[in-house]
Amino acid sequence: MPVAYSYARFSSDKQKDGDSLRRQRDLALQFIERNPELELDLDTTLNLTDEGLSAYKGVAQTKGALGAFIRLVEDKQIASGSYLLVEALDRLSRQTPRQAFNQLNTLVDSGIVVVTLTDNKIYTREILDSDHGMSLIFAIMLMARAHEESVTKGQRIKAAWSNKFAKIKDGVQLTARVPFWINKEDKSKSIPDKVAIVKEIFEMSAKGIGAMRIAQDLNANKRPTPSKQSKKWAISSVKKVLASEAVLGTLVTSDGGKHEKYYPAIIGQRLWSKSRITSQSSKTARSTVDVHPLSGLMFCKSCGATAQRSGKTGRVRQDGTKNSWKTLVCAKSVSHASKCEYRSISYDKILHSVIIGLDQMAEFSPQDEIGKQIHTKRSRVEQLQDLIDLVTAPTDGRPVKVTATAKANLSKMFVELDGLRKEIDELVEIRRPMNQRLIEGARKAILKGEVNNALMRQAIKRSEIDFKKALLDIYGHDGSAISGLVLKDSEQREKDEAKRAYTSVRR
């Protein structure tokens, strides 16, 4: 007895709330009732419904239940001779006729009987090959029409937005989505307490304070965030405010157009310009003042101050030359701004230890929250892949026959697998990666003597030096940490201590 699989799809929430899904399912049941001679058994184990997935962009075919069904067919877990019941060909695909037909051809070549229920048209390998190409031509025509409808719809949506853009000059509000300091119902009104926060951000920026420090101050002072979903100000949120021309009252639309006086201006041009100039000047200053591979990454473990680079020179030799070398010291110990005792450590020693630390960090598994999520999801992907391989692996060169329950589980696993891979890709995008490529690049930069501070900042989040014990701790962006890297051997430490004791006695 052949098995019939009913596939339903809709792409919008309005269709979900309407009659679309019920209509598609009823059509499948009616087909089976009208054709008792086929002796079709309707499968109820697979969930072949794609809600809110586009057939025009190919999402349903790759990420949804339809994609899982196609892979079950390709893995021979759906028996040849099975029926796939769909309302119309456009439920399967609205891609180009070539792409849509390739999908249909894959199904029928695998022995699947595709039935379109609105016109009772049946597509099989034999029918497509035997009626002088009429069914083939008919199918391609339907596919071309479906694709053209989607293209036309896209053009209409684009035109609708263009019309909206054209009405902006008449004062029409484009959407309810506005900057957080603007009233959603009336774009001509601003929200005073939120405007005050924006002004505070620009005033700090104009003084040369960076986005990180601004975010820290806003959080310390418990300033409300732009959205209720965010509990704290992020650096990216601060940068977004500083880059927004909406503070000047200008709306920048997706077509690149700028519409002045769309919003009420809450920041004056003078403050805006000063913030931009100061920000650019700070970037230039940072790029020209004593930048070295570890610049901005080294801190005193005791007091948290910056580990400052300092130059030292030795006695003049008989030939007139003299030794010179670089060290790192606690910046506050130089100015006596903390209790830290002035102690210096060779910069070359620190670089050598950083290389060792980078080698060790390459072996660390992710420790931060996003890293943990990625690690957990990747483990689940491996588990699912092993289960799928176990179920579908052929025995003696022959496909394994699986039960209906196993097929349902396989379908669920395929859908979960696609979802996990998509989630992993999204998490990797938002997480600053601590990967082998960056580590290796940073390591090579040090060995070559290159001043590649940008590369080091991507590989290392922060390093702390215990000047008293001459130890180094390195922290990665993914939460990994290497602690207790030795910066001086025991003999050198004893010499340094003896030298300091002798200096103290002389004083």
Q: What is the pLDDT of residue 478?
A: 63
Task: Assess whether 136 and 255 both reside in one domain.
Answer: no
Q: Which of 90, 122, 153 is the last residue of a domain?
A: 153
**Whole-number average pLDDT of the chain:** 77
**Residues 203-212: tens digit of each pLDDT:** 998 888 888 8
Task: Assess whether 137 and 9 both reside in one domain.
Answer: yes
Compute CA distances 181 → 41, 199, 270, whole Å.
59, 11, 20
Q: Is the pLDDT of residue 334 over 80?
A: no
Position with higher pLDDT, 440 vs 140: 140
Q: What is the pLDDT of residue 258?
A: 76
Has residue 222 been placed in a domain? yes
Q: What is the pLDDT of residue 191?
A: 93
Position with higher pLDDT, 43 vs 366: 43
Q: Is the pLDDT of residue 444 over 90?
A: no
Q: What is the pLDDT of residue 166?
A: 62
pLDDT band at 242 (very low <50, low <70, confident <90, very high): very high
485 beta partners: 472
Task: Assess whether 19 and 71 both reside in one domain.
Answer: yes
Q: Is the pLDDT of residue 404 over 80?
A: no
The pLDDT of 444-473, averaged and rounded, is 81
Percent of the chain scored above 90 by pLDDT? 10
Query: Which of 86-95, 277-286, 413-422, 445-454 is the least confident region?
Result: 277-286
Q: What is the pLDDT of residue 271?
A: 87
Task: Assess whether 343 and 477 both reside in one domain.
Answer: yes
**Residues 218-228: tens digit of each pLDDT:** 988 999 999 88
Task: Assess whether 342 and 456 both reside in one domain.
Answer: yes
pLDDT band at 295 (very low <50, low <70, confident <90, very high): confident
Decide: helix, strand or coil at residue 443.
helix
Question: Rg (Cα) of the chain, in Å, rounded?
Answer: 33
Q: What is the pLDDT of residue 299?
A: 93
Task: Assess whether 462 and 484 both reside in one domain.
Answer: yes
Has residue 164 been placed in a domain? no
Q: What is the pLDDT of residue 372?
A: 74
Q: Per-residue DSSP letters for 384-427?
A: HHHHHHHHH--BTTBPPP--HHHHHHHHHHHHHHHHHHHHHHHH
Task: Assess whether 460 and 475 both reside in one domain.
Answer: yes
Q: How many domains, the chain?
A: 4
Task: Assess whether 224 and 121 both reside in one domain.
Answer: no
Has residue 330 been placed in a domain? yes
The pLDDT of 375-379, averaged and rounded, is 83
Whether 21 and 10 have beta carbons less than 8 Å apart is answered as yes
**Residues 18-52: tens digit of each pLDDT:** 466 778 888 888 998 999 898 888 887 777 787 75
Q: Is the pLDDT of residue 431 over 70?
A: no
Has residue 293 been placed in a domain? no
Q: What is the pLDDT of residue 301?
A: 92
Task: Assess whether 128 and 41 both reside in one domain.
Answer: yes
Residue 388 backbone zone (phi > 0: left; psi -120 to 50: alpha; other: beta): alpha
Q: Is the pLDDT of residue 216 over 70?
A: yes
Q: What is the pLDDT of residue 112?
A: 92
3-state secondary structure 352-383: HHHHHHHHHHCCCCCCCHHHHHHHHHHHHHHH
Task: Assess whether 333 and 471 both reside in one domain.
Answer: yes
Has residue 160 been placed in a domain? no
Domain interval for residue 400? 369-430
DSSP 8-state assignment for residue 183:
-
